[in-house]
Amino acid sequence: MADTLHLAADPVELTAALVDVPSVSGDEADIADLVERSLREQTSLEVVRSGNAVLARTTLGLPRRVILAGHLDTVPVNDNLPSRLEDGVLHGLGTCDMKGGVAVMLNLAATTDDPRYDLTFVFYDCEEVEAVRNGLGRIERELRQWLDADLAIVCEPSNAAVEAGCQGTMRIELRTSGTRAHTARGWMGVNAIHAVGEALGRLEAYQARTVDIDGCVYREGLQAVKIAGGVAGNVVPDECVLTVNHRFAPDRTPEQAEQHLREVFEGFDFTVTDRSAGALPGLHTEAAQELVRAAGGTPVAKLGWTDVARFAALGMPAVNFGPGDPTLAHTRQENVPVNQIQQCREVLRRFLNHG
Amino acid sequence: MADTLHLAADPVELTAALVDVPSVSGDEADIADLVERSLREQTSLEVVRSGNAVLARTTLGLPRRVILAGHLDTVPVNDNLPSRLEDGVLHGLGTCDMKGGVAVMLNLAATTDDPRYDLTFVFYDCEEVEAVRNGLGRIERELRQWLDADLAIVCEPSNAAVEAGCQGTMRIELRTSGTRAHTARGWMGVNAIHAVGEALGRLEAYQARTVDIDGCVYREGLQAVKIAGGVAGNVVPDECVLTVNHRFAPDRTPEQAEQHLREVFEGFDFTVTDRSAGALPGLHTEAAQELVRAAGGTPVAKLGWTDVARFAALGMPAVNFGPGDPTLAHTRQENVPVNQIQQCREVLRRFLNHG
């Protein structure tokens, strides 16, 4: 491993160099050290370290500030290291999720000489694991003032398109109850598994909303993700638990989404086991409009839940914008087209610098 | 533990003595030794030992033969030993299932001096565990000629009523399949849990048959006993497995019962994982009619599956007739009313002896 990275060089080579420093969640010390040393060579930046996160910012006194954020960790190695460049595509763990985006950020940190905005770069740890360990959450608790800005760009893979906002997610456990009996005398019992059939029927018939916000189209969903019930092979079961995942457009709060589910599952008991608010796209703000213009395309809705929602909750518009196909994330085959890395760097350079 | 039991004495005391020799399935050596020693004192009987089963028979050359059968084992101890007599009710593990019946059999073996039938007594092991270990199955394989008779009486608890025949049982695994997808893009998948809702709907609407055979009324059943599906909290599941238990009247063979389920679940795939034929009551035979008359009541249908079906499969009518409430079997509170033990002994004495 090199002592420092040559941040101003080709971001594709930079991506490969980052991929070749393994950084599975919880094991990001090496890559954080490398990123920190490399950023400290940039005399124009104020740099702080927080655990295995590294933050850097300009302090030019400009009226507006943009955050660029990306996580340093990856999911576990799956026989897909080191990186390998082939026919214009860089293969390997983290190429797509999200060292291509991190490389673009590092390159911009070293090459943005005449910015229109003050810039804050956030490289953080433990995004791929349970939310309580997420480095961005720790930064929010410990370095809150570093997260003030007019726009946040999370460089997660988005096929180099501006993906705005994100949907909320909620999980519920719907529980039916009955009365046990021997199946030889089944009529003496009440079958809790039979009772869940009605809830499944409502799921099958459910018409999910499609919601247009700021030109971004969010397509909701309501899916059973788990079902479990049964006592023994000769017993009428007295309980069945159905777990349902609801993805809801950011025009609804989690409270409104829960209320909706109370209506859908009227007559059934359920508890909410997990919920995360969505994020409105916020594309009407000036900084966001400028980014959309620089990207030159039509922004699209982000459907999955990402850390964009954390920034949105802090009161700023937040978008995903990064190289790579998000559907390849977490697959053994993950890769990133080199031209998307270059395109993201160009779009962001155009956006961040004075014409 | 006494060296031998006084078989000709009070069958209630005999029941208590048997209960006080623990004999959880697989651990019947002590009780089998005791039963064997006690039976060998009866010089009129031919006795053989098979593992932890003991068989005894008369060889009087009578034109007809009746088998009396009972298992020596119990389910595991549940803080319900030793036996305890209180207000005419004997409490304790095995009182109901089925040492009361075994005591009646042993008493009859020692006291039936002028029988109308040759008699075969079968005391066997491992009835309360998986069918492959069942001692009666072993006897069928190794001592087949001991199981020839004109009527079999299994002295399982039946509230001292003649319970005739038994229902068949069949378990199926019904499997739905789908296509995995991230729940944020649920419409790209096909939800296998939703698909099982239709099958549950048919179960909920199912109208079970009630079938009258020889005056015995069998009430069928179709019950989901287990359901399992799900991959992860954010994945549209691609498989769900529903286990269903069908109890069918003995006018249907297992093949006919399966054909019926193919019609009920048309459009679904399922496999049969377990099946046991029922047993027709066979009450039209002469020996059975004589037993019914001796019992003096109306015979009723046996709903659960018992070893009666093994005897029926060997070509003879077979009934349950024994002291105790079958719904108390396998409960910590199991018990047997003393007067049912006495009643069973009297009915069988009347039936087996010349007037």
Residues A277-326 pLDDT 10s: 888 888 888 889 999 999 987 888 887 788 998 998 898 989 999 999 99
Q: What is the DSSP string of B143-168?
A: -GGGG--SEEEE---STTS-EESB-E
Report whether pLDDT(B95) > 90.
yes
Is the CB of B230 less than 8 angstroms away from the CB of A228?
A: yes
Which residue in B118, B125, B127, B220 is the catalytic one?
B127
Q: What average pLDDT does this structure show over A207-234?
A: 93
Taking contacts as CB-CB distances below 8 angstroms, the residues of chain A near B167 are 184
What is the maximum alpha-carbon separation in chain A? 81
Dist CA B15 CA B55 (whole Å): 19
Query: What confidence score (pLDDT) does residue B154 get?
Result: 96
What pLDDT, in 10s, does the model give residues B179-238? 988 898 899 999 999 999 999 999 999 999 999 998 889 999 999 999 999 988 888 999
Is the CB of A200 less than 8 angstroms away from the CB of B197?
A: yes
Q: What average pLDDT does this structure show over B99-104?
A: 98
What pLDDT, in 10s, does the model give residues B14-44? 999 999 999 999 999 999 999 999 999 999 9
Query: What confidence score (pLDDT) does residue B355 get?
Result: 66
Q: Which of A233-237, A300-304, B242-246 has the highest mean pLDDT?
A: B242-246
CA atoms within 13 A on the CB side of A278: 32
Q: Which fold has domain A11-165+279-352?
A: Aminopeptidase (3.40.630)
Identify the weakest region by mean pLDDT among A68-72, A214-218, B123-127: A214-218
Q: Determine the distance from the C-alpha atom of residue B67 to the mean position of all C-alpha atoms in its chain, rounded to a whole number.
A: 15
Q: What average pLDDT does this structure show over A330-335?
A: 90
Query: What confidence score (pLDDT) does residue A224 get?
Result: 98
Taking contacts as CB-CB distances below 8 angstroms, the residues of chain B near A204 are 191, 194-195, 197-198
Burial of A110 (C-beta count, 10 Å sphere; 0-12/13-18/19+): buried
Q: What average pLDDT does this structure show over A81-90?
A: 97
Report whether pLDDT(B282) > 90.
no
The phi, psi pair for A273, rounded to 5°, reads: -105, -15
Which residue is associated with the tokens 């980014």? A291
Q: Looking at the complex, does the CB of residue A305 fall below 8 Å from at least one CB of chain B?
A: yes
Neighbours of A210 (CB within 10 A): 11
CB A92 within 8 Å of CB A84 = yes
Domain(s) of CATH 3.40.630.10: residues in chain A: 11-165+279-352
Name the 3-class secondary structure at A261: helix
CA B191 to chain A, closest CA, distance in angstroms equals: 7
CB A250 within 8 Å of CB B256 = no
What pLDDT, in 10s, does the model give residues A148-167? 999 999 999 999 999 988 89
Beta bridge pairs of residue B276: B169
C-alpha separations of B232 from A9, B183, B248 in Å: 41, 10, 37
Is the CB of A237 less than 8 angstroms away from the CB of B226?
A: yes
**In angstroms, how far is the first alpha carbon of chain A from the final one?**
37
Q: What is the ipTM of this complex?
A: 0.78
**In angstroms, how far is the first alpha carbon of chain B from the final one?**
37
Query: What confidence score (pLDDT) does residue B283 get?
Result: 86
Q: Determine the distance from the C-alpha atom of residue A97 to the mean position of all C-alpha atoms in its chain, rounded to a whole number.
A: 10
Name the 3-class secondary structure at A249: coil
Q: Which residues contact B262 (CB under 8 A, 6 or more apart)?
A: none
Dist CA B13 CA B19 (whole Å): 10
Chain A contacts in chain B segment 180-209 (CB below 8 A): 182-187, 189, 191, 193-201, 203-204, 208
Residues of chain B above pLDDT 70, percent: 99
Dist CA A63 CA A60 (whole Å): 9
Is the CB of A191 less than 8 angstroms away from the CB of B184?
A: no
Query: What confidence score (pLDDT) does residue B354 get?
Result: 82
Taking contacts as CB-CB distances below 8 angstroms, the residues of chain B near A240 are 227
Tokens matching residue B131: 């069918």
Report whether pLDDT(A100) > 70.
yes
Q: What average pLDDT does this structure show over B1-26?
A: 94
Report whether pLDDT(B107) > 70.
yes
How many helices (H) and strands (E) chain A has is answered by: 9, 19
Report whether pLDDT(B129) > 70.
yes
Q: Which residues contact B228 (CB under 8 A, 6 or more apart)?
A: A227, A228, A230, B240, B241
Cis previous bond, B323, omega within 30 = no
Query: What confidence score (pLDDT) does residue A27 get?
Result: 97
What pLDDT, in 10s, does the model give residues B254-270? 999 999 999 999 999 99
Q: What average pLDDT does this structure show over B40-63?
A: 96
Report whether pLDDT(B303) > 80.
no
Chain B contacts in chain A segment 153-172 (CB below 8 A): 167, 169, 171
Dist CA A270 CA A258 (whole Å): 10
Q: Looking at the complex, does the CB of residue B353 fall below 8 Å from at least one CB of chain A?
A: no
Which residue in A28, A127, A220, A290 is the catalytic one?
A127
pTM of the predicted protein model: 0.78
Query: What confidence score (pLDDT) does residue A139 get?
Result: 97
Burial of A63 (C-beta count, 10 Å sphere; 0-12/13-18/19+): exposed
Is the CB of B183 less than 8 angstroms away from the CB of A208?
A: no
Neighbours of A202 (CB within 10 A): 16
Q: What average pLDDT does this structure show over A94-118?
A: 96
Burial of B215 (C-beta count, 10 Å sphere; 0-12/13-18/19+): middle
Is A163 one of the annotated active-site residues of the chain?
Answer: no
Cis previous bond, B98, omega within 30 = yes
Query: What confidence score (pLDDT) does residue B247 get?
Result: 95
What pLDDT, in 10s, does the model give residues A39-81? 999 999 999 999 999 999 999 999 999 999 999 999 889 899 9
Dist CA A79 CA A96 (whole Å): 16
Q: What is the DSSP string of A13-53?
A: HHHHHHHTS--BTT--HHHHHHHHHHHHT-TT-EEEEETTE
Neighbours of B130 (CB within 10 A): 8
Q: Looking at the complex, does the CB of residue B231 fall below 8 Å from at least one CB of chain A?
A: yes
Dist CA B73 CA B53 (whole Å): 10
Q: What average pLDDT does this structure show over A24-41?
A: 97
CA A196 to chain B, closest CA, distance in angstroms equals: 8
Q: Which residues contact A320 (CB under 8 A, 6 or more apart)?
A: A153, A154, A155, A156, A157, A158, A162, A163, A164, A166, A302, A306, A308
Is B73 one of the annotated active-site residues of the chain?
Answer: yes
Q: Which residues contact A347 (CB under 8 A, 6 or more apart)?
A: A160, A294, A295, A296, A321
Is the CB of B200 less than 8 angstroms away from the CB of A222?
A: no
Instruction: Categorise residue A172: left if φ over 0, alpha if ψ from -120 to 50, beta otherwise.
Output: beta
Indicate which of A169, A185, A217, A223 best probes the interface with B, i.e. most B CBs within 10 Å of its own CB: A223
Report whether pLDDT(A111) > 90.
yes
Q: Which fold has domain A168-276?
A: Alpha-Beta Plaits (3.30.70)
Report whether pLDDT(A355) > 70.
no
Dist CA A160 CA B154 (whole Å): 77
Is the CB of B186 less than 8 angstroms away from the CB of A221?
A: yes
CA A181 to chain B, closest CA, distance in angstroms equals: 10
Q: Looking at the complex, does the CB of residue B279 fall below 8 Å from at least one CB of chain A?
A: no
Q: Looking at the complex, does the CB of residue A235 fall below 8 Å from at least one CB of chain B?
A: yes
Is the CB of B235 less than 8 angstroms away from the CB of A225?
A: yes
Tokens matching residue A305: 């839940």
Query: What confidence score (pLDDT) does residue A15 get?
Result: 98
Q: What residue in A sits closest to B168 (Cα-Cα)?
A: A184
Q: Looking at the complex, does the CB of residue A349 fall below 8 Å from at least one CB of chain B?
A: no
Counting every residue, how long is chain B?
355
Taking contacts as CB-CB distances below 8 angstroms, the residues of chain A near B184 are 167, 169, 221, 247, 303-305
Q: Looking at the complex, does the CB of residue B330 fall below 8 Å from at least one CB of chain A?
A: no
Tokens matching residue A130: 């349970």
